[in-house]
Structure 1
Amino acid sequence: MPALTTAESAAAEPPLADSYLDLLRRGGGGIAPPTTEGCCVQERELPLIDLSCLTSGGSSAREREARRVCADAMARAASEWGIFQVTGHGVSRALLERLRAEQARLFRLPFETKAKAGLLNGSYRWGAPTATSLRHLSWSEAFHVPLASISGTASCDFGDLSSLRSAMQEVADAMSRVAKTVAVALAGSLLLQGHRDHDHEAAATAASFPPGCDETTCYLRLNRYPACPFAADTFGLVPHTDSDFLTVLCQDHVGGLQLLKDARWVAVKPRPDVLIVNIGDLFQAWSNNRYKSVEHKVVANATAERFSAAYFLCPSYDSPVGTCGEPSPYRDFTFGEYRRKVQEDVKRTGRKIGLPSFLKQQPHSMTTARLDHKSKAPVAILP
């Protein structure tokens, strides 16, 4: 693809620098540079799990045992880390590179074109236009597209980027298979614990997990993190947990993803041959807190732009989240209720409260958290 001229490149960028400078002029509302938080961040290898045995379809005792070992390894990673890497996922590197090339073409469009309601049905997002502090500003842009818009179930305007639709559709289909495979294995690992006399019933329940999810309820998000001249003071994406069952992520070689592990930030080393899976809020609730919805962020890069694509496994808004077994610490709620409560909390307090709002017994610290919201960075609402 021909290189952009300086004028074309400038026209493509969202007004992130304007937002930064405006917040700086207003005092920043309490600056806490990401580099201050992450000065001692270590790069760690996440748990690495080969999914190929889960898709082999063999029925021998050895193959069944291999599937059980794989599922148990994922369950340990989901409990201890809330995130892990997978190989043997069946998503070709060539396909991901094709999507990345299409992403580059998409994000090189002029900002005014990207921000128009018509393109990809108004799914474009950038930065945090309502930020009141540099702690709230995400130096990034994205298209957060419902799968129904990609598949043609709902109409969607791709403009002149006709090849983008096919690349997004292939990646969404492939990541959907990965997400379903992982989700079923993780659900089965919990349901089968202590219920060996009801293996068939538990297996049938796991096979239909998660409830209310299909090709029309999930999302594919295309992300770009431009090089940031103020990287020391700026997040690429503010710390957050995902409001779904689980997320499947592919990232390029630049890196920048960090997660909270044992109260410390850990940098994830990028690898071109793996996909990253992280547990979302709904899976933590369904698992009765056995699996952890991991807090993560992206740090800004001073010299290089970064691309990633994420698949969000979400149910329909009216689907009850449910539980793997009673008693559950959470009251009954639907995905729609959860999203509305998160949005209300962000609007009212500036930050996401999330799962604690749905506990049957509200902790005393909830009141303190609401009173102290101005000292904390808000959490991105994803999806």
Structure 2
Amino acid sequence: MSLHCQKSAKGDKVNTHKFKADIHQDREDSEAMAIEPPFFEKYKAILQSSANEKEKPPTVEGFEELELPLIDLSHLNLGPLERQECIEKMGQAAIEWGFFQIVNHAVPDELLNRLKQEQIKVFQQPFDKKSENNFLNLSVQSYRWGNPLATSLRNLSWSEALHISLKDISKMDEYNKLRPYWWRYFDGTSDQMPSAMAPCCCLLHLISVTVACLTQCAFEFASDRQHGLNFTLIRQHDPSTIEEYAEKANFLAQRLAEYLAQNLGIKANYFQENCSPSSSSLRMNRYPPCPYPSMMFGIIPHTDTDFLTIVSQDQVGGLQLKRNGRWVSVKPNPKALVVNIGDFYQALSNGVYKSITHRVIANQETERYSAAYFYCPTYETVIESCSKPSLYKKFSFKEYREQIQKDVKATGDKVGLSRFLL
């Protein structure tokens, strides 16, 4: 029956445009559901048990919002007094907050925007694809979601992440990683796909991308001129966006670690000797809208297993840290990157710098994206406090990681540095 002839019970003609819009909306809803991890299925027993036993859910609302100490790294290039003042300010923030934010950090906004688009493209893949062992040619379990060992509301995480070891980035070829997924967005009735799924960030300026546009060449893509863009051939990123960001983040992390070391008397080449890009990692996070934002976290409270973490985040907000025994919300700064001290720097500094417990709260309406660069030592590096008497016994990255794995398996939570107190 033609839609134009179909009648309702009252004899009115069906609104064809509305009918088509409803079909389109149903299709979009179905595709949106297909990308989400099965949180409800995984957490069903915990949610039911909590309701039956009236378990007190974690409280994640109504917190004071504070701005982190702001460090302008351009002052490092001024005179000796300004440089020293900047380094001391950085150290003071590491002591008092364990967190600070930096501007004029030499990571271009354009690169950060490209990184965000890469995250969107990756996480918009169907969950079945993301959970495959060889997703994007990365190591097994690079894609992670939720907390598989959660036993109660307090250790539920409503998020998904792609944890990339820097030595694996070269495997993420910009063309091959997305090509297998293009075709599912062509349903046979159209030769166009959403531009958000296109393999080249430059194409995101277009409303849609044609099949011919994508298949013209394996490494180059023609643009659609009807939208007034002056692209003829668009070459894939070389190096890739993720690789480019990781290189800049690693350089920045090493510089920050060295500046912080000056306040402690640690030798200048300590981090060059004990850290390498291949030992660090990048974690791209997505926090989907959560229907129970007052009952669970985006990421559960934790500290970071590294020397330093550099975080690029969007404007949705949700990062909270524990300060003076209470939780406070961090006000997002569109111009800044967030830096926090990790467990290894706390141990190295003999407790002077603080690895602060932090978390991300869930949001009911809006998804959130962030990217965290973890600056880590090599697996065999032994962490020893820089002063005496030492608060911590010596341990290697390998020993620390193995202890964490045991604790998480046993309790669902990381215990951390307290395991290594003398």
Same fold (TM over 0.5): yes
What percent of counterpart residues are identical? Answer: 46
Q: Distance in 2 between matches of 1:244 and 1:32?
A: 32
Conserved in 2, the CA contact under 8 Å of 1:243 and 1:280? yes
Q: Which residue of 2 aligns with 1:6?
A: 29
- How far the C-alpha of 1:30 sits from its partner, in A, is 7.0
> For 1:190, which of 257, 264, 271 is the aligned residue?
264
Q: Which residue of 2 aligns with 1:115?
A: 131
> For 1:19, which of 26, 42, 54 is the aligned residue?
42
More deviation, 23-32/276-285:
23-32
- Residue 97 of structure 2 is aligned to residue 81 of structure 1: yes
Q: Which secondary structure state, in structure 2, belongs to the residue aligned with residue 244 of structure 1?
A: coil
> For 2:68, which of 46, 54, 58 is the aligned residue?
46
Conserved in 2, the CA contact under 8 Å of 1:211 and 1:315? no
Equivalence map 1:191-230=2 (5 Å):
191=265, 205-209=267-271, 211-230=273-292
More deviation, 14-23/45-54:
14-23
Q: Distance in 2 between matches of 1:131 and 1:349?
A: 8
Conserved in 1, the CA contact under 8 Å of 2:279 and 2:378? yes
- Residue 146 of structure 2 is aligned to residue 127 of structure 1: yes
C-alpha distance after superposition, 1:165-194 (max 9, x if no partner): 711111111111221111000011111xxx
Q: Which residue of 2 aligns with 1:145?
A: 164
TM-score calculated relative to the size of structure 1: 0.83
Q: Distance in 2 between matches of 1:212 and 1:235?
A: 34
Conserved in 2, the CA contact under 8 Å of 1:175 and 1:311? yes
Q: Distance in 2 between matches of 1:320 and 1:30?
A: 45
Q: Which residue of 1 aligns with 2:398?
A: 336
More deviation, 73-82/23-32:
23-32
- Residue 337 of structure 2 is aligned to residue 313 of structure 1: no
- Pair 30,134 (structure 1): closer, same or farther in 2 beyond 3 Å: farther
- How far the C-alpha of 1:209 sits from its partner, in A, is 2.2
- How far the C-alpha of 1:210 sits from its partner, in A, is 6.2
Q: Which residue of 2 aligns with 1:95?
A: 111
Q: Distance in 1 between matches of 2:312 and 2:56?
A: 28
- Residue 72 of structure 2 is aligned to residue 72 of structure 1: no
Q: Which secondary structure state, in structure 1, belongs to the residue aligned with residue 329 of structure 2?
A: strand
- How far the C-alpha of 1:99 sits from its partner, in A, is 0.8
C-alpha distance after superposition, 1:305-329 (max 9, x if no partner): 0000000001111111122223311
Conserved in 2, the CA contact under 8 Å of 1:287 and 1:323? yes
Q: Distance in 2 between matches of 1:71 and 1:324?
A: 19
TM-score calculated relative to the size of structure 2: 0.75
Conserved in 2, the CA contact under 8 Å of 1:30 and 1:134? no
Q: Distance in 2 between matches of 1:144 and 1:88?
A: 27
C-alpha distance after superposition, 1:244-298 (max 9, x if no partner): 1110001001000000000111101111110000000000000000000010000
Conserved in 2, the CA contact under 8 Å of 1:187 and 1:209? no
Q: Distance in 2 between matches of 1:322 and 1:152?
A: 34
- Pair 244,167 (structure 1): closer, same or farther in 2 beyond 3 Å: same
Q: Distance in 1 between matches of 2:88 and 2:124?
A: 43
Q: Distance in 1 between matches of 2:290 and 2:102?
A: 30
Q: Which secondary structure state, in structure 2, belongs to the residue aligned with residue 143 of structure 1?
A: strand
C-alpha distance after superposition, 1:214-235 (max 9, x if no partner): 1110000000000111111110
- How far the C-alpha of 1:63 sits from its partner, in A, is 1.9
- How far the C-alpha of 1:76 sits from its partner, in A, is 0.5
Conserved in 2, the CA contact under 8 Å of 1:81 and 1:294? yes
C-alpha distance after superposition, 1:103-150 (max 9, x if no partner): 111000000100001114230000012211121110000000001111
C-alpha distance after superposition, 1:5-37 (max 9, x if no partner): 111111100011222333112336874434x3x
Q: Distance in 2 between matches of 1:103 and 1:149?
A: 16
RMSD between aligned alpha carbons? 2.4
- How far the C-alpha of 1:211 sits from its partner, in A, is 4.5
- Residue 304 of structure 2 is aligned to residue 251 of structure 1: no
Give the letter for the 1:16 counterpart: F
Q: Which secondary structure state, in structure 1, belongs to the residue aligned with residue 134 of structure 2?
A: coil
Q: Distance in 2 between matches of 1:345 and 1:215?
A: 27
Give the letter for the 2:118 counterpart: E
- How far the C-alpha of 1:159 sits from its partner, in A, is 4.5
- Residue 335 of structure 2 is aligned to residue 273 of structure 1: yes
- How far the C-alpha of 1:65 sits from its partner, in A, is 2.0
- How far the C-alpha of 1:66 sits from its partner, in A, is 1.7
- Pair 94,30 (structure 1): closer, same or farther in 2 beyond 3 Å: farther
Q: Which secondary structure state, in structure 2, belongs to the residue aligned with residue 236 of structure 1?
A: strand
> For 1:298, which of 355, 360, 382 is the aligned residue?
360
Q: Which residue of 2 aligns with 1:289?
A: 351
Q: Distance in 1 between matches of 2:300 and 2:82?
A: 38
Q: Which residue of 2 aligns with 1:371?
A: none
Larger radius of gyration, structure 1 or 2?
2
Conserved in 1, the CA contact under 8 Å of 2:384 and 2:393? no
Q: Distance in 1 between matches of 2:34 and 2:61?
A: 34
- Pair 26,153 (structure 1): closer, same or farther in 2 beyond 3 Å: closer
Q: Distance in 2 between matches of 1:39 and 1:7?
A: 31
